[in-house]
């Protein structure tokens, strides 16, 4: 993977329920919003089956104005059984999640895109920082 053109975010264990300090999570999200506008997608049980409850899930976890901005700018996905249904396998994506089911892992492997999965360890207090460092390693393509 040489570049990133899509970012998928889980919520539980990634943006909430994690040992990472709030300021690091905010910094990660800020970087994504500033550098990947229009290319950030929800990939969480809080947004599936045509319903988006991500604002409800994040209210109280992050500053209200950031929750509102995320709700308006992060794009919803629609999936039913496996999160991989919502992933564009032809894109250069990063998927931040604390869980990867075996069935999902198989799909990623079959599409040769397993390297797009970035495992977030909720118990690691440096996890949000590591995710940000990872993203900063990719240069945004200039047009």
Residues that bind Mg ion (CB under 5 A): 10, 12-13, 98
As measured in angstroms, the least distance from the Cβ of 14 to Mg ion is 6
Beta-bridge mates of residue 9: 42, 96
User: How far apart (Å, rounded) are the C-alpha atoms in residues 20 and 131?
Assistant: 11
H or E stretch covering 108 = helix 102-110
Nearer residue to Mg ion within complex by CB, 10 or 24 = 10
**Helix or strand or coil: residue 6?**
strand
Rounded to the nearest whole angstrom, what is the least distance from the CB of residue 11 to Mg ion in the complex?
Answer: 7
Query: Which residue is closest to Mg ion by CB?
Result: 13
CB of 105 to Mg ion, least distance (A): 15
Nearer to Mg ion (CB atom), residue 27 or residue 100: 100
Residues 4 and 135: beta-carbon distance below 8 Å: yes
In the complex, minimum distance from the CB of residue 109 to Mg ion, in angstroms, rounded to a whole number: 20
Which C-beta is closer to Mg ion: that of 122 or that of 129? 122
Toward Mg ion, which CB reaches closer, 12 or 69?
12
Q: Are 27 and 132 in contact (CB under 8 A)?
A: yes
Instruction: Check: CB of residue 46 under 8 Å from CB of residue 16.
Output: no
């Amino acid at each position: 993977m040489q570049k990133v053109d899509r970012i998928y975010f889980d919520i539980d264990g990634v943006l909430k329920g994690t040992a990472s300090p709030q300021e690091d999570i905010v910094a990660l999200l800020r970087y994504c919003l500033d550098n990947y506008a229009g290319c950030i997608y929800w990939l969480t049980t809080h947004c599936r089956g045509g319903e988006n409850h991500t604002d409800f899930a994040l209210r109280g976890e992050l500053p209200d104005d950031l929750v509102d901005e995320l709700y308006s700018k992060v794009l919803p996905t629609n999936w039913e059984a496996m999160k991989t249904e919502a992933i564009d396998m032809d894109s250069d994506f990063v998927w931040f999640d604390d869980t990867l089911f075996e069935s999902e892992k198989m799909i990623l492997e079959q599409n040769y895109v397993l390297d797009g999965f970035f495992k977030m360890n909720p118990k690691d207090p440096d996890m949000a920082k590591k995710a940000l460092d990872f993203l900063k390693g990719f240069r945004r393509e200039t047009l």
